[in-house]
Every structure is written in C-alpha cells, then in structure tokens.
C-alpha cells in the first residue's frame, strides 16, 4: 500500500500544477479518487544515445507480438518512415505504436496486456522531442550499446527521465558484438545514475541483455539466444501501470501531432484525467485563451497504426481528429471545467542562424516558394510541432533569426524546406550567449571521440586548438575513447577537420552540458576562397588553371554568377577569379592539341558541410536542385570598399 501511495504522489508531482486547482472546482465536493487506470496497460518510452538500436529493438518487439513480419535482410527500420530518417539512418521525430502481449507466467499470466511504445530520437539536437514525449510515459527503457556504453545523449535523456522520476529498465543492446563490454557497461550506467543523483530506488534497476538486430533478449549475459519474451515480461512486472483521476472532468495533454490529408491535424497525447469519447464536445486550452471544439474521432494505438475507439479512459494514449488548430502543450478539457495542465517545458536553444530570401542572380529559377512571406509561413508552421525551435524577426523584413539545439537540428529543417520547394540563403551558425549573474556565458558541450591509437595525437592536438578540455582518456578494445568539454562555437566545422586529421577514423558525438563564462574566440577558416568575378558558365579551360591554386567546388558547364564561391584557395586570403573565361581560338595549330588533360575532381558541398564551412561574410544558397556558397555582398568592388572602411574604423581616428 505504501508503494502505491508513493507512486501516486510521484504521479501528481510529474503532472504539474493546473491553472484551475481541484480544490476550487465546483465538482470537487470531496477528494477525487486516484487509482490505477488499467492494470494490464503500460506506457513505455525508449530512450538512448544515437545509433544504439532503439528503433531496431522496437521492430523486433512488433515482430514478436505479430504486428508485422520482419525481414532481417532489410536495413531500414519500419518506424523510420520519413525519407530523411531512412537516408541518414537516424530517428528525427518520435513515433507511437502499441503491442498486444499475453504472458504465460507471472502475475499477468493468461491476461491480454497492451504496451504503448514511444520511440524517441537519439541525437542530442532533437532532445526537444524526447522532453515532450516523456510526459506520456510511466517508465522508460534505457538502451546502452554493449561496447560504447553511456554516451553524451545517454546522460541527457536519463537526466530528463529522472526529473520525472520514471522507473528505468536498462537494456544492454548489441551484446552479440565481438568487443562487447557487458559488465563494464552496466557498472558505467550505475555510475552515471549516481552522478545524476538518482534515488536508491532508481539505482536498483533491472537489467536486460539483448540484440535488437537478432531479436533476442535475456536476463543472463551469458545466454545469447531466445526471443523478446524476457523483455516484455520485465516491462509488465517492473514498470507501473498508469494512474489517474477517473471521476473528474476530462484533461488530455497534447504532446505530439500527426497529419492526414483528409482529416487535417491530429492531436496525440495522454488522458491525464477523466475519459474522452468520440463526438464529445471539448475545450482546447491554449496560451491565448480557450476555444470550444468537438472530438470527431478518437483512436487508440494498435500495432503500427490506430484503431477507432468509442471511449478512451484515463492513463491511455490516444489520437484525436477534428479539434481544429492546436499547439503542442495545449490541453483538451471538459467545457464545464476547462482546467489546463502545465505546458511542456524544454531546454533553451544554443545556436542561431540567419534565414533570408535568395537574392542571387539564380534566385527563383528552381524554387516554388521564394518570398519572405512564404518563408515566414513555413517557419511558423514548424513552430507548432518543433518545441525546441525559436523564430525572431531579423534586421530587415527579408531576414529571420532562427534558433535551435544544434547544427543538425537546423540542418534537417533546411533540408525539409529545400525538398518542399523553398529557396533561401542562410548565414553562419552562431552560438547563443547569455548573461548569468552579470557574467557573459557561452554553451559548453560534452564531446566524445572514438579514434584508433595511431591518430589519437592528431585528435588531441585539434581539440586543444578548439578550446577543448579533456576529462577522460581510456582505451576500449583497439580504439581510444576521449571525453572532453568544449565550447559550442569550437564544434562548428570541427567534424570535417577531425575526419581529415584522423584519416576518417574518428567517430564524434556531443551534447549540451552547461553554460560557463566565455573563454574562447571565434575560429576562422585557415584557407581563403576563390570567388567568381563574372557571370556565365564554368569553363574547363579556366578550371584547369584554377585547380593549381586550390580545390574547386563546381563542375564544368555549371551556371556561375559574380560573388559565388567556386573553390578553396590554397592560401589564407580570398582571391577573385574568372572561371567563366574560355580558350581563345585561332587558325594556328598548337603542339599540345592532342595532349590528354585530366581535371581534378571537384569537392562536393552538401548542406551540413556548407554550414560548417562558411564565415561571417558568406552565405549558403539553398535551392531545390543545388547547394551553393556565396559572398554576402556579391559585388567585388563593394566588398573591397567595405574591407577598407573596416580597416579605417579599426585603426581609429588620425591625430
């Protein structure tokens, strides 16, 4: 009984304060009864560092419970349905599914149990997704790679779960790896929990050993065979059933959304109090006020899809159609007593970029949406679901200051806009500084690097030049594991330099750690760029000569405009070049006419590489069919004039 009361108190604390307390509600003639909603229901979120196998494990759970047929030869995960997720092999947005399971032993033997599963992103830049969907869960599966152990994102997601006091089951995944360190990884998870000030109850966690790819789980690290039954039994036995108020008016927290071309926007969330039925009149509690609506259809999650439900009771997850416009964090409530739940709070962004219209000579040639109004509308739509994003007006009507969790977070947004037909230009990423106790502070990230022993010296040297402070250096198998704290500004452009210095052997991950007093300066590129001085098409004749001065970014016959960056100079200064100049023809036969000339391959600049490469006076031009680099000021004459004015201003007035 005491354990049940403790769980109820923890649940009340996690839900947070309501704007209208139950004590003031007219219906509250006595104390509402908080009880277990459904003893055979579990709401579970799966959290982990990127590439530790969350979505693969969910696929195996769905296959074991008969929700799908799993083809082990397919590399794509079923829940990673977005094209970008399949291309990059990562989860970007959280997904909901459910499995039906009948245990054959234990307290739930012979009963039909339902487990709502929430698959979450693993990359630190999408931490906002993790923060909002954890509100829907009553417990978490913490996946940890059997070789890598706890990584920066592991610490982040585990800290968020402990803030909500969610029970934890540790799943050591990829135990079939030949270099697995199972016992050491379990000890590292325990040390991480201690470092995060976890309670004694959370330190006594249950451990499952698994291989999501091969579809087996085990309670013993020596047994590497079987099926998913041990994990499902552990979920039912060690994670609590949802609890809530059933005899009070409706409260549903919207934590996610979906879209249907027929029904429009679909609200996804958890019934915190009361019950919701199809066709019921409701009140949507928003930041700007309340409005009435009707829940046209209500769905429960089943397998990979949703099924209509006449009634969804407290503690369950559901999807609601027909309520119109809403924002994530809104509350669906009873019209008679519209009590709003505290909105979902996420960590602040650490990086911002300048989004502006594409005003280059090539602007509007391939894009469908090119005006500032269309870009603004797209950003406002993104704000409805992307809680970690911030959009502010720029210095002019054609500019927007967009803030996010990291370069990948903003890069995914830009890539989606590009594929949707938008044209725009973006500036160099800048870190967000803030004043804490009258001290200027910058974001500090925890960076981990795994590199082979032959290149550890080059990696350490590069970290030192970027302001990194090494916290830990240890050997794991045939590789070295480095943990260091580094200013967020030092991470911009670090990945490409690290891969070059280590011969492509380094594997890097980072996650926001804290704010600390500013201790670094902006890092500039060591090489200058080759800037086109005339419009036209790139000629092979000119490119042959320019390839001796650096590395080119364009291909022959590509359309070029003045001010476009066409290559990297071998020296540290910018150089204006005429890449559109062709060979002059004459009547005289040349002795080198039959000579075979090989043009050096150009460097392919993708979106992330371009964002890391540019400097303050440069922009990345993004169109549906190309990614280009350019100077902010296209005119070479104007650039020289601006540089002269800056030198005069820096020198100060003459005496």
CATH architecture of 529-647: Beta Barrel (2.40)
Cβ(58)–Cβ(143) below 8 Å: no
Contacts of 448 (CB under 8 A, 6+ apart): 151, 152, 481, 482, 483, 508, 509, 510
Instruction: Provide the β-strand partners of residue 564.
Output: 630
At 80 the pLDDT is 62
At 44 the pLDDT is 92
The pLDDT tens digits for 506-525 are 888 888 888 888 876 667 78
DSSP character string of 201-264: HHHS-EEEEEETTTTEEESSTT-----SHHHHHHHHHHSPPPEEESSS--EEEEEEEEEETTTE
For residue 631, name the pLDDT band (cuts at 50, 70, 90).
very high
For residue 28, name the pLDDT band (cuts at 50, 70, 90).
very low
Q: Where in the chain is the domain with CATH 2.40.50.250?
A: 529-647
The pLDDT tens digits for 454-491 are 888 888 988 888 888 888 888 887 788 888 988 888 88
Does residue 590 surpass a pLDDT of 90? no
At 25 the pLDDT is 36
Residue 58 burial (10 A CB sphere; 0-12, 13-18, 19+): buried
Q: Which residue has the higher pLDDT, 19 or 94?
A: 94
| Region of residue 342 (left: phi > 0; alpha: psi -120 to 50; beta: else) | beta
Q: Which CATH class is domain 434-517?
A: alpha beta
Q: Where in the chain is the domain with CATH 3.30.70.240?
A: 434-517
At 18 the pLDDT is 38
At which residue do the structure tokens 């609506």 appear?
293
Does residue 33 surpass a pLDDT of 80? no
Q: Determine the Cα angle at 196 with ends 192 and 202, to 5°.
A: 80
Cβ(352)–Cβ(407) below 8 Å: no
Q: What is the mean pLDDT of residues 16-33?
A: 40
At 566 the pLDDT is 93
Candidate CATH numbers 3.40.50.300, 3.30.300.30, 3.30.70.20, 3.40.50.1220; the one for domain 39-241: 3.40.50.300
Residue 194 burial (10 A CB sphere; 0-12, 13-18, 19+): exposed
At 502 the pLDDT is 87
Contacts of 107 (CB under 8 A, 6+ apart): 237
Does residue 339 surpass a pLDDT of 80? yes
Q: What is the mean pLDDT of residues 142-156?
A: 85
Q: Which CATH class is domain 245-333?
A: mainly beta
At 654 the pLDDT is 63
Does residue 560 surpass a pLDDT of 80? yes
| Tokens representing residue 642 in the block | 């601006």
Distance between terminal CA atoms of the chain? 85
Q: Where in the chain is the domain with CATH 3.40.50.300?
A: 39-241
- Name the strand (E) or helix (H) holding 481: strand 479-487
At 11 the pLDDT is 46
Contacts of 591 (CB under 8 A, 6+ apart): none
Mean pLDDT score of the chain: 83
What is the C-alpha separation between 34 and 612, in angstroms, rounded? 52
At 630 the pLDDT is 93
| Tokens representing residue 83 in the block | 């094209």
At 17 the pLDDT is 37
Rounded to the nearest angstrom, the gap between the alpha carbon of residue 580 and the centroid of all alpha carbons in its chain is 41
Does residue 24 surpass a pLDDT of 70? no
| Region of residue 215 (left: phi > 0; alpha: psi -120 to 50; beta: else) | left
At which residue do the structure tokens 């601006």 appear?
642
For residue 14, name the pLDDT band (cuts at 50, 70, 90).
very low
For residue 592, name the pLDDT band (cuts at 50, 70, 90).
low
The beta strands (E) that lie in 437-478 are given as 439-452, 469-476
Q: What percent of the chain has pLDDT over 90?
A: 23
The pLDDT tens digits for 152-168 are 778 888 888 888 889 99
Does residue 2 surpass a pLDDT of 80? no
Q: What is the mean pLDDT of residues 98-112?
A: 85
């Amino acid at each position: 009984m005491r354990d049940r009361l403790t769980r109820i108190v923890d649940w009340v604390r996690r839900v947070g304060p309501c704007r209208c307390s139950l004590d003031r509600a007219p219906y509250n003639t006595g104390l509402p009864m908080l009880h277990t909603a459904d003893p055979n229901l579990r709401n579970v979120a799966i959290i982990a560092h990127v590439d530790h196998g969350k979505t693969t494990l969910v696929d195996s759970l769905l296959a074991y419970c008969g929700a799908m047929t799993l083809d082990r030869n397919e590399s794509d995960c079923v829940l990673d349905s977005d094209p970008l997720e399949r291309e990059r092999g990562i989860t970007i947005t959280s997904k909901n599914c459910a499995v039906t399971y009948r245990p054959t032993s234990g307290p739930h033997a012979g009963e039909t149990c339902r487990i709502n599963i929430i698959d979450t992103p693993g990359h630190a830049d999408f931490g906002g997704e993790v923060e909002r969907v954890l509100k829907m869960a009553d417990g978490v599966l913490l996946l940890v790679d059997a070789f890598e152990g706890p990584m920066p994102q592991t610490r982040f997601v585990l800290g968020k779960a402990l803030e909500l006091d969610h029970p934890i089951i540790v799943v050591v995944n990829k135990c079939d790896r030949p270099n697995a360190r199972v016992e050491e990884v379990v000890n590292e998870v325990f040390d991480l929990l201690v470092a995060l000030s976890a309670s004694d109850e959370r330190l006594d966690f249950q451990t499952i050993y698994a291989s999501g790819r091969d579809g087996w789980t085990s309670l013993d690290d020596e047994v590497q065979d079987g099926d998913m039954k041990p994990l499902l039994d552990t979920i039912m036995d060690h994670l609590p059933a949802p609890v809530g108020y059933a005899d009070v008016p409706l409260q549903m927290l919207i934590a996610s959304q979906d879209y249907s071309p027929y029904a429009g926007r679909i609200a996804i969330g958890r019934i915190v109090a009361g019950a919701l039925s199809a066709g019921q009149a409701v009140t949507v509690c928003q930041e700007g006020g309340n409005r009435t609506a009707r829940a046209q259809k209500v769905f429960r999650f089943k397998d990979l899809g949703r099924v209509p439900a006449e009634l969804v009771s407290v503690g369950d997850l559901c999807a609601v159609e027909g309520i119109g416009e809403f924002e994530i964090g809104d509350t669906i409530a009873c019209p008679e007593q519209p009590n709003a739940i505290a909105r979902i709070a996420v960590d602040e962004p650490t990086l911002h970029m300048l989004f502006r219209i594409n005003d280059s000579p090539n602007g509007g040639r391939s894009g469908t949406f090119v005006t500032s109004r269309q870009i603004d509308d797209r950003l406002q739509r993104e704000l409805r679901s992307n809680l970690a994003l911030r959009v502010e007006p720029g210095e002019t009507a054609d500019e927007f200051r967009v803030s996010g969790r990291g370069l990948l977070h903003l890069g995914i947004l830009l890539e989606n806009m590009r594929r949707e037909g938008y044209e725009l230009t973006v500036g160099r990423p800048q870190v967000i500084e803030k004043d804490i106790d009258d001290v200027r502070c910058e974001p500090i990230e925890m960076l981990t690097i795994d590199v082979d022993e032959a290149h550890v010296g080059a990696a350490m040297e590069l970290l030192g030049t970027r302001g990194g402070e090494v916290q830990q250096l240890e050997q794991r198998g045939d590789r070295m594991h480095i943990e260091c704290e580094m200013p967020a500004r030092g991470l911009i452009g670090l990945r490409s330099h690290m891969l070059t210095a280590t011969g492509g052997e380094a594997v890097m991950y980072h996650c926001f750690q804290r704010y600390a007093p500013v201790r670094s300066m902006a890092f500039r590129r060591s090489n200058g760029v080759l800037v086109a001085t005339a419009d036209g098409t790139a000629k092979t004749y000119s490119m042959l000569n320019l390839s001796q001065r650096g590395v080119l970014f364009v291909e022959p016959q590509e359309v070029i405009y003045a001010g476009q960056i066409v290559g990297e100079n071998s020296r540290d200064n910018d150089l204006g070049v005429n890449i559109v100049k062709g060979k002059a023809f004459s009547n005289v036969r040349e002795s080198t006419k039959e000579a075979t000339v090989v043009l050096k391959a150009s460097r392919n600049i993708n979106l992330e590489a371009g964002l890391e490469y540019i400097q303050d006076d440069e922009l990345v031009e993004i169109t549906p069919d190309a990614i280009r680099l350019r100077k902010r000021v296209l005119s070479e004459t104007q650039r020289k004039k601006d540089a002269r004015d800056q030198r005069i201003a820096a020198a100060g007035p003459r005496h």
